[in-house]
Amino acid sequence: MMFETDSRPGSEFCVPLALTLLLAALAANVFAADPLPSWNDTLPKKAIVAFVEKVTHEGSPEFVPVVERIATFDNDGTLWAEQPVYFQILFALDRVKALAPQHPEWKSKSPFNKLLSTPKEQMVPVTEHELMEIVVAAHSGMTTEEFEKTVKDWVATAKHPKTGKLYTEMVYQPMLELLAYLRGNGFKTFIVSGGGIEFMRPWVERVYGIPPEQVIGSSGKLKFEMRDGKPVLLKLPEVDFIDDKEGKPLGIQTRIGRRPIAAFGNSDGDLQMMQWTTAGPRARFALLVHHDDAQREWAYDRQSQCGKLDKAWDEAVAKGWTVVSMKDDWNTIFPK
């Protein structure tokens, strides 16, 4: 567009020019707006942007059609925190306490009696097997709809023992920006988590913008049953699928049926997903979040019970995958 201009200040002919300049400035600004403001300008951010530009630039030899832009994200320790233990375990402990009045037999039955007699602020000494019993008790014996309501209520009210925040406030701001950035570039974002699929679905759409049909997780067996002529799905006390380690590529194959071109994780449980992702042809991207920020979050890796990062770290270094230092690469951890 061309404008006839007039140099006299205040002239009405100046308005279109001023407007044009303003619009041009705004447009340039929008163009330059940083989609990842919580990421420092260090290597991980540069690697992410370089990858996305490469696969989305039509005509580039590495161009990937929109339908194949699948990105998979671990949840615990990758999208939200996972200390002192996986949040789903804290949910299960709360559930068992809430269900106790309906289970008088728990008063004399281990591990439930141990859990119920321990004050809230103390850790309960349970074995891994006992913990599994507690988790199964908390996740079965109701319909899928009843369970969904339970999760929604818990997520809306329960607070983290250390930070006092709602658990959904302990998601990582840089990862929220990354999810949005990828979706803005035509990616379909999936969660591929060892966590329970029905524990995640009630809130991840609101919090991460990821719809239930793009959530893959561990799951228990279900039973279809008619109750007064209405069908319900009952949650049985049996594990059906564990979406961890080798389970992640299997879950990706059976649920998505397409190999991701980018995978994001933080622990050894994500190693096989990253191997599977990066073994595909053409450009691939793998990123590990390293929890090394004891001040703002937690610092743990090779020795941790939750989110152990050991073999996957070695392989990331050997293969040149991107490793994020929360301390050095993120200027913000949780949303403000």
Tell me the pairing of strands 215-227 and 188-196. Answer: parallel
The binder of its own copies chosen from 25, 279, 294, 317 (CB under 8 A): 279
Q: Which range in 28-36, 78-86, 89-97, 220-228 contacts its own copies by CB under 8 A?
A: 220-228
**DSSP assigned state of 270:** G
Q: How far is the CB of 250 from its own copies (least distance, A)?
A: 5
Does residue 318 interact with its own copies by CB under 8 A? Answer: no
Backbone angles phi, psi at 256, to 5 degrees: -100, -45
Residues 184-213 that bind its own copies (CB under 8 A): 188, 197-198, 201, 205, 211-213
* Residue 160 or 255 having the CB closest to its own copies: 255
CA dihedral for 193, 195, 198, 200, sign (positive or negative): negative
* Residue 56 or 214 having the CB closest to its own copies: 214
Q: How far is the CB of 272 from its own copies (least distance, A)?
A: 6
* Residue 203 or 334 having the CB closest to its own copies: 203
Angle at 135 between CA 98 and CA 231, to 5 degrees: 80
Q: Which range in 9-17, 110-118, 166-174, 216-224 contacts its own copies by CB under 8 A?
A: 216-224
Distance CA 317, CA 39 (A): 21
Residues 52-71 that bind its own copies (CB under 8 A): 67, 70
Distance CA 330, CA 39 (A): 5
Does residue 240 interact with its own copies by CB under 8 A? Answer: yes
The binder of its own copies chosen from 256, 299, 301, 306 (CB under 8 A): 256
Residues 125-154 that bind its own copies (CB under 8 A): 144
Residues 66-95 that bind its own copies (CB under 8 A): 67, 70
Amino acid (1-letter code) at residue 244: D
Distance CA 265, CA 276 (A): 13
Backbone angles phi, psi at 20, to 5 degrees: -60, -45
Encoding tokens for residue 254?
Answer: 């059976």
Does residue 272 interact with its own copies by CB under 8 A? Answer: yes
**DSSP assigned state of 241:** E
Nearest partner of 48 among 174, 170, 193, 210, judged by Cα = 174
Does residue 281 interact with its own copies by CB under 8 A? Answer: no
The binder of its own copies chosen from 233, 239, 299, 306 (CB under 8 A): 233
Q: Under a CB-based contact definition with an 8 Å cutoff, are residues 326 and 320 in contact?
A: no
Tell me the pairing of strands 230-241 and 285-290. Answer: unpaired
Distance CA 101, CA 112 (A): 12
The binder of its own copies chosen from 1, 9, 128, 224 (CB under 8 A): 224
Number of residues that bind its own copies (CB under 8 A): 36
Does residue 258 interact with its own copies by CB under 8 A? Answer: yes
* Residue 104 or 257 having the CB closest to its own copies: 257
**DSSP assigned state of 183:** H
Please name the residue that has the structure tokens 């002529």: 229
Interacting residue ranges for its own copies, rule: CB under 8 A: 67, 70, 144, 188, 197-198, 201, 205, 211-215, 219, 222-224, 226, 230-231, 233, 240-241, 246, 249-250, 253-258, 272, 275-276, 279
